[in-house]
Amino acid sequence: DAGVIQSPRHEVTEMGQEVTLRCKPISGHNSLFWYRQTMMRGLELLIYFNNNVPIDDSGMPEDRFSAKMPNASFSTLKIQPSEPRDSAVYFCASSRTGGDSPLHFGNGTRLTVT
Amino acid sequence: GQQLNQSPQSMFIQEGEDVSMNCTSSSIFNTWLWYKQDPGEGPVLLIALYKAGELTSNGRLTAQFGITRKDSFLNISASIPSDVGIYFCAGQISGNTPLVFGKGTRLSVIA
């Protein structure tokens, strides 16, 4: 089991640029979550999908943020245009809906916007 | 929204000491989980608790699901340097709802 795979591991970009973060969930998991982690706010849920359908995007900070899940094995989180306050570690996590299926996290993408 | 209050925020302990941290909520959760995050990595599940009153061990780790379903604690016995990291509690209402995370307890172990 390869675990949740995120890319890139690190991203440094200039303010105003578009940033795309990628995630491959664990095979067989049908729920996918995007979290943002900062020192000030801890782990914040941005959006989650069940069976590729966005269920709750109320955590997405602004319209500059968007997420897609075109199929069961791939999701993207896009920030356009990026701002310095978007600098954080972004985690993708997956699980099986229902039952006793814990959440498994990827190793995150550390985003720095200058 | 729902919030979990996790304490302490940070702790410095000597190697070999026992550690205790806890999480409380004003809302009921039906699942409690404890995760550990090492630097540069994502949180990794340590223990999952699915029943009120449940006490579960995983090696030197012991966690309990509070009987009121509004709290949980994690104990680490005989700490070692590799216990260093951030420990998060998380609560879940049902398998179809997302986890709510505490702000974490940052553990430092002095050899």
DSSP string, chain B: ---EEEE-SEEEEETT--EEEEEEESS--SEEEEEEE-TTS--EEEEEE-STT-EEEETTEEEEE-TTSSEEEEEE-S--GGG-EEEEEEEESSTTS--EE---EEEEEE-
- Best B29, B33, B37, B86 member to test A by mutation, with max A CBs in 10 Å, is B37
Distance CA B12, CA B84 (A): 10
Mean pLDDT along residues A54-77: 95
Which of B96, B105, B106 is best to mutate for the A interface (most A CBs within 10 A)? B96
- Residue B78 C-alpha from the chain's centroid: 17
Rounded to whole angstroms, the Cα distance separating A109 from A74 reads: 15
pLDDT tens string A90-104: 999 999 876 567 889
Minimal C-alpha gap between B43 and chain A (Å) = 6
Nearest Cα of chain B lies from the Cα of A73 at a distance, in angstroms, of: 19
Mean pLDDT computed over every residue of chain B: 94
Question: What does the pLDDT read at residue A98?
Answer: 66
- Rounded mean pLDDT of B32-61? 95
What's the pLDDT at B51? Answer: 93
CB contact under 8 A, A102 and B48: yes
Contact with chain B for residue A72, Cβ under 8 A = no
Residue range A41-68: mean pLDDT, rounded:
94
